[in-house]
A and B are shown apart, each in its own frame.
Chain A
Amino acid sequence: MSTPLLETRRLSINFGALAATRNVDFRLQAGARHALIGPNGAGKTTLINLLTGVLKPTAGQVLFKGSDITAVKQADRVKLGIARTFQINRLFRGLSVLENVYIAVAERLGVAPSMLKPAGRRQEVVDEAMALLETLKLADDAAHRISELPYGRQRLVELAITLGLKPDVLLLDEPAAGVPSTESHIILDAVAALPREIGVLIIDHDMDLVFRFAQRITVLVGGAVFAEGTPKEIAANPDVRAVYLGQAGHG
C-alpha cells in the first residue's frame, strides 16, 4: 500500500487521569473520503486536535506523507497542507465574507506580512478568494459581514476559509452541525464537490451523511479505535450496532 497521507502510530493523550485518546493507529489515504464516528465523548475532536497540532500527544506519533510531524507546530502543519474546520464556527465575525477568505488565501500565498500595498490591490488574492466563493455559491454574500449571515451560510464560510488554504488533508468537524436540515444539503453538496485529490476526514453524527459520503469509516469508542472498515462492514458489524448505531436509534 502507498504511504498514507496522514497516519498516527499508537497515538495517546491523557487529560489528568482521563485517557482521551488511547493507542490510536489511524491512516488517511490520499483522496480518501473517511468518516470518524463514535458516541459523544469518544475523543473524535481530540483526535483532530492531535492531528492539527493544537494538542501535544502524551505518547505516539503523527506522520504526514511518511515524515514525523509530531513536534511540528499548528501553524506549520497548516503550511504543510493540513487544514480543518471547527465544530463551532470560528470566523472573523466583524469582517466581510470576502475578507474572511482573503485572510486565509493571503497567508497561504505568503502575502500577509506585506505592509505597503493595499490589501484590496492584491489582485491575485482577491481573485482567488472570489473564485472560491463563487464555487461555494457564496459570491452574493461576499460583501456581507459574517454577523449578518444566517448560521448555515456561516458554516459554508468556515469551509471556504479552509479551502482557501488549498489543503492536502481536510479535517471536517461536524460541518453541518447546528444547521437546519432544510439548509444542510447545501453544505453536504459542497463537501461532496470537494476536489478529488484532497484526503477528507469527516466527523459527524448524521449517519445518513456518513454512510453516503464515506468510503471508509473508523469507529472511536472511549478514545480507542473500536472498529474500522467500509460502510458495509461497519453497518453489518453487530458490536458497532450495539454501542453506537443502536444507541443513536438508527438502522
Chain B
Amino acid sequence: MTVQQPGLAGHPAAVALAGRHRVRLWEPIPWILLLGFYFAFPRYLGFGTELLTTILFAISLDLALGYAGIVTLGHAAFFGAGAYTVGMLANHGIWNEPITSLILAAAMAAAIGLASGLVLLRTTGLTLLMLTLCTMALLEEAANLGSEYTGGFDGLANLPIPPLFGVFEFSPLFPTVQYLYCLAVLFLCFVFVRTLVYSPFGQSLTGVRENTLRMHAVGAPVNQRLVICYTISAALAGIAGGLWAQSNAYVNLSTLGLDRAATVLIILVLGGYGRLYGAFIGAVVYLALSHFLAKPYPTAWQLGLGLLLVLIALFARNGIIGLYDQLAARWRPRRAPP
C-alpha cells in the first residue's frame, strides 16, 4: 500500500522510514524452511523442537541486548523460571493445560524480570553483567535447595502434559505435535517482537542503545523504558522455557544455568544481534555444529565452535548477518553522493 504524497512526506527518507516495517521478500523463507523441516526430517523433530525453543530464547535476548543494549549474562534465569513454572504446576497436579501454562510461565518470568530489572537496570556495563549473573545463580541455587518442590538436582521428570486442545497428544518418541506447537508459538512471539521493534517504543530502545545521555536529554524516561523492555524480554524467555519443559516433559537445573545463558549469548553473537533473524541463523549454526561435530569429536567439538567464534570476531562485525551485510555492500555499486 503506497500512496505517493507530495512534498515532505514523499521524501525518500520519509518513505524509507514509513516502509521500514514492511515484510521483505525473503522473510517467509526461514518459516518455509522450518515448516519444510517437519516433513523432510521426521526423525529429527526432537532436535527441531530444541532448535525452535532456542530460537525463541535467542529472540528474547535480542530484544534486550540487541535492541536496548542491556548487557546480560543471566538470561537463563527467565528461561528457567518459565520451565519450572510449567514443571512444578504440572508435577504437583495444580495446572497443566499447555497454553494457559505457557501464559503462567510468561507471567512468572515477567514478574522476576520486573522485580530484578527495577534494581539491576540502574547499573550498566560490567556491574550489570555481574548482577544478572548473580540473580540467575540465586534462582539456580533456590531450585537446587528446594528439592521438595523442584526435584532439586534431579529435576522433575515425566511431567503429565495433557493433549493440546484436548486432542493432540505430546509423544516423547515422535514429537510431531511438540514441533508444530513450538513453531506456532515461536511465530506468534516473533510477530509480536517484530511489531515492537518497528514501533516508536522500539525506536526509543534503539535510541537508548545508541546514546543513553542523549535520550535523557530529549526527556525520555530511560530507566522506565529499559525495565519495560527487560520485562517483556523475560516473559518471552519464560515462554521459551515453558515450551522446552512441555516438549521434553521434564525440567532440570540445566534450564537455569550459566551454560544455557552463555550458549544463547554465543548464538546471538554468531548470528548477529539487533537484527531479529540473527537468532535464527545463530541457533541453526550452533545447534547443527554441536550436533554434527559432537558425534565424531565428542570431547573436542567445542574447539570447532571456538574457532568459528574467533573468525566471526575477527572478520564479521555483527555475526553471520553482519558478514552478509559487508559482502552485499561490497558488491552493490556505490551510489554517487548527492
Residue numbers of A with Cβ under 8 A of B are 52, 54, 74-79, 83-84, 86, 90-99, 102-104, 106-108, 111-123, 125-127, 130-131, 134, 139-140, 142-143, 161, 164-165
Contacts and interface: CB of A to CB of B under 8 A. Distances in A.
Nearest to B198: A118
Contacts of B20: 118-120
Nearest to B224: A113
B219 interface: yes
A128 to B, nearest CB: 10
Contacts of B200: 106, 111-115, 117, 119, 122, 125
Given A106-B200, A130-B9, A75 B216 contact: yes
A98 B14 contact: yes
B199 A119 contact: yes
B127 interface: no
B218 A131 contact: no
Contact of B199 (A78, A84, A115): A115
Interface stretch (B140-148, B160-168, B206-214, B282-290): B206-214
Q: How large is the interface on B (under 10, 10 to 19, 20 to 34, 35 or more residues)?
A: 35 or more
Nearest to B196: A115
A162 to B, nearest CB: 8
15 contacts: A75-B219, A78-B219, A83-B217, A91-B210, A96-B16, A102-B17, A104-B218, A106-B203, A111-B200, A115-B202, A117-B199, A119-B17, A119-B203, A120-B16, A143-B16
B196 A90 contact: no
A239 to B, nearest CB: 35
A131 B14 CA distance: 11
Contacts of B213: 86, 90
Given A99-B17, A118-B20, A126-B17, A90 B217 contact: yes
A96 B12 CA distance: 12
Nearest to A167: B219
A115 B201 contact: yes
B224 to A, nearest CB: 9
A134 B16 contact: no
A130 B14 contact: yes
Contacts of B216: 54, 74-75
B60 interface: no
Given A92-B206, A99-B203, A165-B218, A142 B11 contact: yes
A130 B21 CA distance: 19
A103 B11 contact: no
A93 B220 contact: no
Contacts of B206: 92, 94-95, 99
Contacts of A83: 217-218
A143 B217 contact: no
A130 B207 contact: no
B71 to A, nearest CB: 17
Nearest to B222: A75
B338 A139 contact: no
Contact of B218 (A99, A122, A161): A161
Contacts of B214: 86, 90-92, 161
Contact of B217 (A78, A121, A131): A78
A171 B195 CA distance: 36
A75 B221 CA distance: 7
Nearest to A121: B18
Contacts of B225: 113
Interface string B124-145: 0000000000000000000000
B204 A112 contact: yes
B105 to A, nearest CB: 21
Interface centre among B214, B215, B222 (most CB of A within 10 A): B214
A83 B204 CA distance: 18
B13 interface: yes
Given A52-B217, A74-B216, A140 B8 contact: no
A95 B210 contact: yes
A108 B199 contact: no
A69 to B, nearest CB: 14
B19 interface: yes
Q: Which 4 A-B pairs have the closest CB atoms?
A: A78-B219, A142-B13, A120-B18, A143-B13
Nearest to B216: A74
Contacts of B219: 75-79, 107-108, 165
B211 A90 contact: yes
Contacts of B198: 118-120
Nearest to A75: B219
